Amino acid sequence: MSYSDIRLSLLWGGDVGGMMKFYWLLIMLMLLVACQGTLPTAQPGVRPTYLLQQLPESDLKQRLQACQHNTFYRSDFSIAHRGAPLMFPEHSLESYQAAITMGAGMVECDVAFTADQQLVCRHAQCDLHQTTDILLRPTLAEKCSQPFVAADPTTGTSASARCCTSDITVAEFSSLCAKMDGVNTAAQQVADYVKGTPVWRTELYTQCAKPMTHQESVALFKQQGVKMVPELKQAEVPMPFNSRYSQQQYAQQLVDDYKASGVPPSQVYLQSFNWQDIEYWLTFEPEFGRQAIWLDERYEQPGFDAMQPDSWQPSMQQLKDAGLNIIAPPLWVLVTEQKGKIVPSRYALAAKAAGLKIIAWSLERSAPLKTGGDWYYQSLPLTATDDSAVLQLLDVLAQDVGVIGVFSDWPATTTYYANCLLNPKH
């Protein structure tokens, strides 16, 4: 035994092996702390504090207040819905950067295609008239599927237009300015029609925000180190487009963009409302398909009831048996009220029992709840009477339903919650 071994033996009661194990554990702990210290920090800003002030006195409020002065980190629980469209034009560079700054660990690009069959980030294929300045650009406005039509007060006809990504090329799309979603349906002039931002949002950050192609979003997200949650949007033109571009080619092109950029499947969560898209990825791109997200809209089926499993077709078990691993319904489907409390719905319990992971959508998509009911909170008529319900609902989703992530129009709130109560660093 060497002199150093004798010293270790004296310090550790004769057990040199135990002492070495202790040192290895200490080294691993130091490495873990060092790795945590390199995680990207987040800036949740003032909105979580604003919501906390409205929250009734409770254990939840105390626990959330206790971490107000902590350092916050990026979290995969925080999923950016279209970026941060509560204040920034959706699917724009500025909106994505704001979401990442607020700590979103996963960021969404809704995907549509252009006339030259290139993929771009848009919530709907035919929403350019309400999310960009295309109608203010005469040469591009002429290409819209339906040009601007003024409101007619005498007949009660609303102003309208229809401009699609498939009406223009990707170069023309990239020349546009993204704006806050909304139109003024009472407008007589185009300039007034595009001014339709809801009063509870803001136009403070709309100085010609940059729209993003899908490939640009991939490059940005890869550079920023966030995971990618693209949604293949439903085509609003007959498919195959131009008699040659099929739905399957559309679904494959989305995956090919990630392969070409060297993004591993583990960083990508493909989404679609269209079950045939999910089946396609499961069959032809299984590495990407195994964490594809089916956006569940079975609530539109006649007779659907979130509390009645017999009303869901197909069943949760059938979905799991088909290869689905992640399901994503709207917020209200996952919860209900019971004796004055928010509790998981039978839908949520059945999804978990079948082994499905759950993602919810979309928090803070709503007008202030004190102004009245909202579609996203329709199963909580007694609870969702002010914005403190945002935090109450989030807590039930995380702790009782067990969702793995929540889409939000303002990711700071989900980032704040995740740091405080799911994966606190302090």
Do 353 and 404 belong to one domain? yes
Number of domains in the chain: 3
Question: How far is Cα 237 from Cα 180, in angstroms, rounded to an integer?
Answer: 24
pLDDT digits (tens, 9 = 90+) for 136-154: 999 999 999 999 999 999 9
Domain with 154 in it = 123-210
pLDDT of residue 81 exceeding 90: yes
Positive or negative, the CA dihedral 184, 209, 86, 261 is: positive
Enter the tokens of residue 402. 């067990």
Bridge partner residues of 357 (DSSP): 326
pLDDT digits (tens, 9 = 90+) for 302-318: 888 888 888 888 999 99
Do 200 and 316 belong to one domain? no
Question: In 3D, which of 129, 107, 111, 131 has the Cα closest to residue 120?
Answer: 111
Q: Which has the minimum average pLDDT: 16-20, 103-107, 140-144, 170-174?
A: 16-20
Do 374 and 319 belong to one domain? yes
Q: What is the mean pLDDT of residues 53-76?
A: 97
Q: How many residues does the chain have?
A: 426
Q: Residue 57 falls within a domain, yes or no?
A: yes
Q: Residue 34 falls within a domain, yes or no?
A: no
Classify strands 357-363 and 405-408 as parallel, antiparallel or unpaired. Answer: parallel
- Enter the pTM of the model: 0.90
CATH code assigned at 348: 3.20.20.190
Question: In 3D, which of 33, 70, 8 has the Cα closest to residue 417?
Answer: 70
